[in-house]
Structure 1
Amino acid sequence: METGGGKKKKKWFLPLVLSLLLSTLLVFVSVFTSSSSYSSQLYKTQVKNEVPVFVESKLRASAPSSDPVPRLAYLISGSMGDGESLKRTLKALYHPRNQYAVHLDLEASAEERLELANFVRDQPVFAKMGNVRMVVRANLVTYRGPTMVTNTLHAAAILLKEGGDWDWFINLSASDYPLVTQDDLLHTLSTIPRSLNFIEHTSDIGWKEYQRAKPVIIDPGLYSLQKSDVFWVSEKRSVPTAYKLFTGSAWMILSRPFIDFCLWGWDNLPRIVLMYYANFLSSPEGYFHTVICNAEEFRNTTVNHDLHFISWDNPPKQHPHFLTNDDYQRMVDSNAPFARKFGRNEPVLDKISSDLLGCNADGFVPGGWLRNQGNSNVTLPDHIITNTTELRPGPGAERLKRLINGLLAAEDFHAKQCS
């Protein structure tokens, strides 16, 4: 009896299990289909009516300006005792189309910084055009540490926020000086793509791997109000594998789109690299180079030149030679728009001003915007021509054109990009 009952139970048990499974499957399909349909409709509604989930998707590099004459944004920085040199460099670089940020670091006295602030405020031309600003909240800059990079980023952020439209960012120091007029420079740059970045760089870091990349340094400027040299940590670190290190000149001309990328960092690369270079000796010679050459959208925009004449030892030491009258002809023959490093009140600056810029030691450089001929006593806004797009390029434009055309037309131009 028990055996027969077990057979009857098996006959109805199997159909029951199958029917339960089938019912469960039908319910699951029904719920999933209706849920998917509802989610699809909800998603379409959200796409139409709400902002994207990720803010970064709305961040993009600025489009190049369509203005036929470009605009430049300058950072001119200095330290204790550089106030007068900074003023002279600023006037030699001045043009109403451009934007300027000047910075004296915290090593300079409050009196020296206040004197510079008063100079910027009281110059009638600056007041009329409103394109020169002092970084009032000064930073402490240790030139072998990352604080020089953070100061550069700080100035670039100020110029993005307050400077309106501009096309290239140029970082200079009080010991730099121009070898061409701004009319020469603007005229020449108006003929090339505004996406280009002039940044001397190489991935062959050589001895720097062991003396700069692997050691760990601390920059007191990150936490102290007193300037002192960097100090070393006993531990070493390995070279990064997530990105490739590059090195080069600390002086560069960077495009507006790349500066946008460095400050917004919508794929986080600039921030990651900045954190690494916070403990890197002489980080200004590597930070921007590493970022630009590891960013797919910018690595093909580089021109491997810093547009400077600099006289180095061979092999190079920490600092270049101070330039004198003996270097004058080599400066001119380089066709570069800038030169460094100059001592304070160096006589060759007077020769450059008179022979190359057409002004005296304390004057604005004449051009299409200025009616006078470099007279230092004429600073009134009445001498500004309203149409600042009028340029009067001179011999300096021809020299600079030869340099840039030669760089862009070189057979190894692409081979030198981030190599």
Structure 2
Amino acid sequence: MAQYDYDLFVIGAGSGGVRAARVSAAYGAKVAIAEEHRVGGTCVIRGCVPKKLLVYGSHFAEDLHDAKQFGWDVPECAFDWPRLRDSVLAEVTRLEGIYTNTLDSNKVEVIHERATVTGPHDITLAGGRQVTARTILIAVGAWPARPDCEGAEHGITSNEAFHLETMPKRVVIAGGGYIANEFAGIFHGFGAHVTIVNRTDQILRGYDEQIRDRLLQISMTKGIDFRFHAPFEKVEKQEDGSLIVHTGGGGDPLHADVLMFATGRVPKTRGLGLEEAGVELDKHGAVVVDADNKSNVDSIYAVGDVTNRVQLTPVAIREGQAFADTVFGNKPHRVDYTNIPSAVFSHPPMAGVGLTEAQARNKLGSVKIYTSDFRAMKNVLAGRHERALYKMIVEEQTERVVGLHMIGPDAPEILQAAAVAVKAGLSKQAWDETVALHPSMAEELVLMK
């Protein structure tokens, strides 16, 4: 048998790579993991964790305002961006240490260098060292895309948003997806005037139409501006550091202190050597894999965002677990991609699982739609007219709940438990027979008629 330096060499220490590395090592494999940036990957270092902390921070603007209606004498409050920024970055560093300790405790060798693939079993490190592995796992994730327009270098992406020196007064955000809408709520909560610029007339494509329309309505009521059918033409930087953003579709140029591109994420495979090693990539640069996460090269696998299947951290973790169990644990299994819950941490947040109404009608034909459109009790007393919307999609013939979509306070927290029922294929009758938990927003799920 051929001898290799490692049984498994993982490139990329994000959520999927770390899970695959530590579980494989626990099965007895000799494992190394290479990371050119920081251990933890997108989610921990520059994604969902620090972003959610900023979401919490920005929401205090509304909470402090609403507290007065609940009897609290709240003085005028000033927001200190550097204090929050530094607290969030300190938490990121703490989590990075936990991830590193987890790898160390499982005897995974951590290599803080860029690694490239130079053959089916060969890896070259940035320092020049060459190593071999029986199996190579690509888990490098994805990276923010930038539009190809004059002056695009003057904009930032979500990566840099966590490191701003000062909080801008005017922010232009390019894109209509979840990152754009989440950061719109964050910057707005911190007092900035926000304009979302999108090349189409839709936000959050792929989410249920009624729910995303409700977010658009609420966002506009809050004072967030939207400019649709507006592709970027050029960006000009002024002497004072401010920007002038020119878009197509009519409309005056936009003046901004910060321009943030949230126009999608692309697999981070450029310069990784995969094509030279014979690995098939799709037109976006994603590693093409089968149901067992294997590429067309038998010794090279990939998990997470680099495969461009479902760009969600929990999915990457499950893929990493399935890879380790299958290849090293003698417990082969595959990830089930049906009924994956997702959330948009906008203001207010959205969450959904299963088929949207449009998807259900296309796939199933005849469906029943149940909705609950209400003001949360807290919003009523606070004098806030913002309305929540819950939507349940039911297959008419079987009465099975095939989709659930929500927008309103704590929607992601409520949806997580409800997703279990959708995943289990429970009927509408099972929901109806469940006693409501009163008074709560979640009780609306079992009261829809």
- TM-score, normalised to structure 1's length? 0.25
Higher strand share: 2
RCO (CA 8 Å, sep 6+): is it higher in 1 or 2? 1
Rg larger in 1 or in 2?
Answer: 1
Higher helix share: 1
